[in-house]
Amino acid sequence: MAAVQSTSNSPTQALLDSVNGQKNSTTNSIDNAQDRFMTLLVTQMKNQDPLNPMDNAQVTSQMAQLSTVTGIDKLNNTLELLIGNVQAGQSYQASSMIGHNVLSPGNEIITSGEGGFFGADLPIGADKLTVTIKDAAGNVVRTLDLGKQTAGTAPLSWDGLTNDGSAAKSGSYQFELAATIANNTAAASGLSFAQVMSISNNANGIKLNLSNLTSVNTSDVREIF
> Sorting pLDDT into bands at 50, 70 and 90, what band is 77?
confident
Q: Give the Cβ contact number of residue 107 at 10 Å.
A: 15
> Which pLDDT belongs to residue 108?
96
Alpha-carbon distance 162 to 165, whole Å?
Answer: 5
- Structure pTM? 0.62
Q: Give the Cβ contact number of residue 205 at 10 Å.
A: 13
> Sorting pLDDT into bands at 50, 70 and 90, what band is 148?
very high
Helix 30-46 and helix 56-95: axis angle, to 10°?
Answer: 170
CA 168 to chain centre: 39
> Sorting pLDDT into bands at 50, 70 and 90, what band is 211?
very high
In tens, the pLDDT along 3-61 reads 434 444 444 555 445 445 444 444 455 566 667 766 766 776 666 666 666 665 666 67
Residue type, 107: N
Which residues have a Cβ under 8 Å from the Cβ of 2 and sit 6 or more positions away? Answer: none
Query: Mean pLDDT lowest for which of 16-20, 130-134, 180-184, 196-200?
Result: 16-20
Domains of the chain: residue spans and CATH? 101-224 (2.60.40.4070)
What is the DSSP code string of 65-129?
Answer: HHHHHHHHHHHHHHHHHHHHHHHHHHHHHHHTTTT-EEEEE--EEEESSS-EEEEEEETT-EEEE
> Which pLDDT belongs to residue 25?
45
